[in-house]
Chains A and B, each alone.
Chain A
């Protein structure tokens, strides 16, 4: 699997847009409703079986964006999947059925950004205490936000 071939293939997938100029990694913008299918495709067809990380970016008024980085280690191919959830949207399909490594990463993403991953087997907070209020990595969460005392 060469990067050129991977770009061609990705561009044919429903709901996926690949940038016109070649980049390393290959950046694929995915429509949120095609998120899980795109992840499946990247793993099965492009051979990106290595899961590196999942995270989110808060673009303030433009809403949240989820970023996933996966690799095909043998072909040295890196693919970045991105999806915009839209303003005030916080739900996204979970990709744990495809990549088991997404389990803790999605929990962290929920913890820090409040993204609800639909289909996640264990949607709890992971780093912060269970009774924590708010999601600290949102831009609306000030560093000095008061929090209730520890129990």
Chain B
């Protein structure tokens, strides 16, 4: 550790400040060692790993039928997408067919998950930026209220609210219970109207504009070089969405718009996510309208650990999660466990852009920028 205070010869003081590991705006355990000159950040050392559980080693010891439930614990705010990445990788190697109904159900939960995750992001981000936004906690409480509705849907579907174990190799484990479709339609309509309310609260709010416009700009070139993805990438002017570029799980059947903003600042990322709210709702409606009948899995329910054997080979499955590209690189050796599994966490790559964009920002901006990146530390540290 350098000295807490070092005085340079120009007479200005440099202050080293630990932001975290327990800072409320980090939404997890993250420590940024900031070097400050006055209010301005001149150096950043990001310290991660506090939540490391060695998922990749764990995956080598667990069978293909066991790990999907654990996979949801990487990105616990969007458990559906990380599970999906893992089972898709195994399905690619083993060439397992997934019934159409299961594919649609995967899209359905994936998009509901995106809505729930964006609710959490918007609420916490606005609360981080504090009193400027009409009391700060107001939007947070509204967003959590709506997120609960989506979690209610998940609870009715799988019995769990946060970590689901919904996907399995070959399909999904649960079919829609009776009355679920109507409930889902009502929830989506409600949330759609509430998103208008959020936007109305934030639109033309001078404090919100000041804190987000021109703050934390990520250039198009830097975005690709670092490999950020999802709303961050699209906020930086790159028109790329895995659901459209490499459609998986029947995404080609649905119509949706991929929002792109060129400014690359916090406001651009905010705007991209607000459009995604509505596009996800649109996809959910299309799934409910066109849901085909049929089996929900090409494989029987899990009865033994040796049930799923994957031949020798490797695959990289990537899924457009709420935070971007969730990738699972799987190397199989022919047994019922992977030889090697690598998580490409969207949050990990997104967070690694921070040292590039925080320099020059003020301390208060660090909070706004970090929130706009929307990291989930379970996925950063894995």
Which secondary structure dominates where chain B touches chain A? mixed
B329 and A55 contact, CB distance less than 8 A: yes
* Residues from 96 to 110 in A contacting B, C-beta threshold 8 Å: 99-101, 103-104
- The answer for the CA separation of A100 and B339 in the assembled complex, in Å, is 29
Give A10 to B124 CA distance when docked, in angstroms.
Answer: 46
Q: Is the CB of A127 within 8 A of B225?
A: no
Nearest chain A CB to B149 CB, angstrom units: 34
CB-CB < 8 A to B119: which residues of A?
Answer: none
A51-74: which residues lie under 8 A (CB-CB) from chain B?
A: 51-53, 55, 57-58, 67, 69, 73
15 additional contacts, CB 8 Å, given A76-B246, A128-B52?
A: A52-B327, A53-B329, A57-B331, A57-B340, A67-B329, A80-B316, A99-B227, A101-B225, A101-B226, A101-B227, A101-B349, A112-B56, A126-B48, A127-B48, A127-B381
Q: A52 with B57: in contact, given A57-B340, A127-B49 (CB under 8 Å)? A: no
Shortest distance between the CB of A126 and any CB in chain B (Å): 6
**How many A residues, CB 8 Å from partner?**
28
The distance from the CB of B63 to the nearest CB of chain A, in whole angstroms, is: 15
Number of A-B contacts (CB under 8 A): 75
Contact with A along B334-352 (1 / 0, CB 8 A): 0000011010100011001
Pair B327/A53 contact, Cβ less than 8 Å: yes
| CB atoms of B245 and A127 under 8 A apart | no
Would you call A58 and B52 a contact (CB within 8 A)? no
| With contact pairs A51-B225, A53-B329 given, residues A103 and B352 touching in the complex (Cβ less than 8 Å) | yes
A137 contacts B by Cβ under 8 Å: yes
22 example contacts (A-B, Cβ-Cβ < 8 A) are as follows A49-B221, A50-B227, A52-B325, A53-B342, A53-B344, A55-B329, A58-B340, A69-B327, A73-B240, A76-B245, A100-B225, A100-B356, A101-B349, A101-B352, A104-B352, A112-B56, A127-B49, A127-B52, A129-B49, A137-B54, A137-B57, A143-B57
User: Does A114 sit within 8 A of B, measured CB to CB?
Assistant: no
On A, residues with C-beta under 8 Å from B are: 25, 49-53, 55, 57-58, 67, 69, 73, 76, 80, 99-101, 103-104, 112, 125-129, 136-137, 143
Sorted from nearest, which 5 A-B pairs have the closest CB atoms? A127-B49, A101-B227, A51-B227, A101-B226, A53-B344
B329 touches A126 (CB 8 A): no
Which of B49, B221, B224 sits near A126, CB closer than 8 Å? B49
How far is it, in angstroms, between the C-alpha of A123 and the C-alpha of B154 when the chains are bound? 43
Closest CB in chain A relative to B367 CB, distance in Å: 22
CA A126 – CA B351 in complex, angstroms? Answer: 13
CB distance from B86 to the nearest CB of A (A): 15
Per the 8 Å Cβ criterion, residues 62-87 of B in contact with A are: none
CB atoms of B344 and A100 under 8 A apart: no
Cβ contacts B45-64/A at 8 Å (1 or 0 each): 00011001010110001000
Among A52, A53, A76, chain B packs the most CB atoms within 10 A around the CB of: A53
Residues of A within 8 A of B296 (CB): none
- How many Å lie between the Cα of A101 and that of B325 in the bound state? 14
B274 within 8 A of A: no
Cα distance A125–B327 in the bound complex, in angstroms: 22
- In angstroms, Cα B224 to Cα A69, docked, is 13
Which residues on A sit within 8 Å (CB–CB) of B246? 76
Question: Would B48 and A52 count as touching, CB distance under 8 A?
Answer: no
Say yes or no: is B222 at the interface (Cβ < 8 Å to chain A).
yes
- CB-based nearest B residue for A76: B245
Instruction: Answer whether residue B238 sits at the interface, using C-beta atoms and an 8 A cutoff.
Output: yes
Q: Mark B291-307, 1 if CB is under 8 A from A, else 0.
A: 00000000000000000
Task: Please give, as numbers and ranges, the residues of chain A lying within 8 Å of B224 by CB-CB distance.
Answer: 49-51, 73
In the complex, chain B residues 303-338 whose Cβ is within 8 Å of any chain A Cβ? 316, 318, 325, 327, 329, 331
- Which single residue of chain B is at the shortest CB-CB distance from A49? B224
Closest CB of chain B to A140's CB: distance in Å? 12
- A73 in contact with B238 (CB, 8 Å): yes
A101 vs B222: C-alpha distance when bound (angstroms): 9
